[in-house]
């Protein structure tokens, strides 16, 4: 006969649950914390005077004109977010196959950066370096007519000029997201040569060819102009299957002078963040991309996930994996909830 009422204590020396029994103890033993200082808010910028435009797949994120960008940045600073990553949405009429408008003197985006730095000098402005906002095909560089693939060296040449112009406009950091070979060294060289020795390079070192960039491409309009349902960047972005190759990219970017190494996307690549963390002494950034943001929002809208809890856990995991810095569309909301 089994006497189910009799429950003798187990003879355990280790009872890890003691460290979890109340909020005070849990706070004492917590290994990882999110802090507003570590967050960067990506923002989409548009030309003209039109009001904020919402983006269907990214609830709470809008394309802003320069005036609204300045207002938003001031609010972010009040919440403790001191760095923004800017992405321009370029009018389709200004795009061509070579993305020439990127390096045109009259590119309004340079003026936007200049104005933002003038009005909110303390905000750290990070400018993405790639041609996808400017090309009709939506690729990050110019195409080689023979192969149809993005031409590496020619693209590096253009991006180098673009990065220097962004620095001249006042960008504190340039962030090459194009995955061309040799671009970090080329950009560092030209920045130094032009006297921008204090402009930092945040290298998208391990950027994977991910399905999770979809909502971003809606936001900057690089998906629609391509005229294809999905843009195939696998000849330059990393294969999601490859960790060692990610480490090679990280090493090359470090050797060429990157100040910060980034892994992107973040949540699906925690092993990569952790491996890059072990392989370098540089600060590591991770980009929680548009699709990660959209996924959490979509599930929360359906009532299937708790938005705040999922948001917090997703960011905490990225930090725990070894990221010092997180680019996330949740930055503003997170800063509010951390107050």
**Catalytic site residue 309?**
no
Span from 92-100, 143-151, 211-219, 245-253 in contact with ligand PBG (CB under 6 A): 211-219
Of the candidates 44, 216, 236, 269, which one interacts with ligand PBG according to CB under 6 A? 216
Span from 95-103, 104-112, 124-132, 311-319 in contact with ligand PBG (CB under 6 A): 124-132
DSSP string, 246-297: HHHHHHHHHHTT-SEEEEES-TT-HHHHHHHHHH-SS-EEEEE-HHHHHHHH
- Asked whether position 213 contacts ligand PBG by CB under 6 A, the answer is yes
Exposure of 163 by Cβ count < 10 A (0-12 exposed, 13-18 middle, 19+ buried)?
buried
Of the candidates 116, 130, 171, 202, which one interacts with ligand PBG according to CB under 6 A? 130
Q: How many CB atoms lie within 10 A of CB 52?
A: 14
Span from 143-151, 193-201, 210-218, 239-247 in contact with ligand PBG (CB under 6 A): 210-218
Of the candidates 116, 184, 289, 325, which one interacts with ligand PBG according to CB under 6 A? 289
Q: How far is Cα 259 from Cα 280, in angstroms, rounded to an integer?
A: 11
CB within 8 Å of 234: residues ≥ 6 apart: 209
Shorter beta-carbon distance to ligand PBG: residue 157 or 197 = 157
- Count residues near ligand PBG (CB under 6 A): 12
Q: How far is the CB of 216 from ligand PBG (least distance, A)?
A: 3
Q: How far is the CB of 103 from ligand PBG (least distance, A)?
A: 16
274 phi and psi angles, rounded to 5 deg:
-65, -40
Secondary element (H or E) of residue 121: none
Span from 43-51, 212-220, 297-305, 330-338 in contact with ligand PBG (CB under 6 A): 212-220
Task: Please pick, among 46, 207, 233, 319, the residue that the annotation labels catalytic.
Answer: 207
**Catalytic site residue 71?**
no
Whether residue 252 is preceded by a cis peptide bond, meaning omega within 30 degrees of 0, is no
Fill in the per-residue mask, 148 to 187: x = in contact with ligand PBG (CB under 6 A), - = not in contact.
Answer: -----------------------------xx---------
Q: How far is Cα 133 from Cα 116, in angstroms, rounded to an integer?
A: 20
Which DSSP state fits 150? B
Q: How far is Cα 7 from Cα 1, in angstroms, rounded to an integer?
A: 15
- Asked whether position 132 contacts ligand PBG by CB under 6 A, the answer is yes
Q: How far is Cα 169 from Cα 269, in angstroms, rounded to an integer?
A: 33
- Asked whether position 328 contacts ligand PBG by CB under 6 A, the answer is no
Interacting residues toward ligand PBG by CB under 6 A:
128, 130, 132, 140, 177-178, 213, 216-217, 233, 289-290
Q: Any idea which residues carry the catalytic annotation?
A: 207, 264
């Amino acid at each position: 006969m089994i006497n189910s009422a009799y429950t003798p204590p187990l003879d355990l020396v280790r009872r890890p649950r003691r460290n979890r029994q109340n909020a005070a103890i849990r706070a004492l033993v917590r290994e990882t914390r999110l802090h507003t200082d570590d967050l960067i808010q990506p923002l989409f910028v548009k030309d003209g005077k039109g009001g904020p435009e919402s983006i269907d797949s990214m609830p709470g994120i809008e394309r802003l004109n320069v005036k609204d960008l300045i207002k938003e940045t001031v609010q972010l600073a009040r919440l403790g977010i001191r760095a923004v990553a800017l992405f321009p949405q370029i009018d389709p009429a200004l795009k061509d196959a070579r993305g020439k408008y990127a390096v045109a003197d009259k590119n309004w985006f340079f003026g936007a950066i200049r104005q933002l730095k003038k009005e909110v000098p303390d905000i750290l402005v990070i400018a993405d370096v790639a041609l996808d906002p400017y090309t009709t095909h939506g690729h990050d560089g110019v195409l080689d007519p023979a192969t149809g693939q993005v031409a590496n060296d020619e693209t590096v040449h253009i991006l180098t000029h673009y990065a220097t112009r962004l620095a001249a406009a006042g960008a504190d950091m340039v962030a090459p997201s194009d995955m061309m070979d040799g671009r970090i060294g080329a950009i560092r060289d030209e920045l130094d040569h032009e006297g921008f020795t204090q402009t930092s390079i945040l290298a998208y070192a391990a950027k994977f060819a991910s399905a999770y960039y979809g909502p971003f491409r809606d936001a900057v309009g690089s998906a629609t102009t391509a005229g294809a349902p999905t843009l195939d960047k696998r000849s330059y972005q990393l294969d999601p299957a490859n960790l060692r190759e990610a480490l090679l990219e990280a090493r090359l970017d470090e050797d060429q002078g990157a100040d910060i190494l980034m892994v992107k996307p973040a949540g699906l690549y925690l092993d990569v963040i952790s491996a890059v963390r072990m392989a370098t002494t540089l600060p590591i950034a991770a980009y929680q991309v548009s699709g990660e943001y959209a996924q959490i929002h979509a599930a929360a809208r359906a009532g299937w996930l708790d938005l705040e809890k999922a948001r917090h856990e997703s960011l905490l995991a990225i930090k725990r994996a070894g990221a010092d810095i997180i680019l996330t569309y949740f930055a503003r909301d997170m800063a509010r909830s951390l107050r």
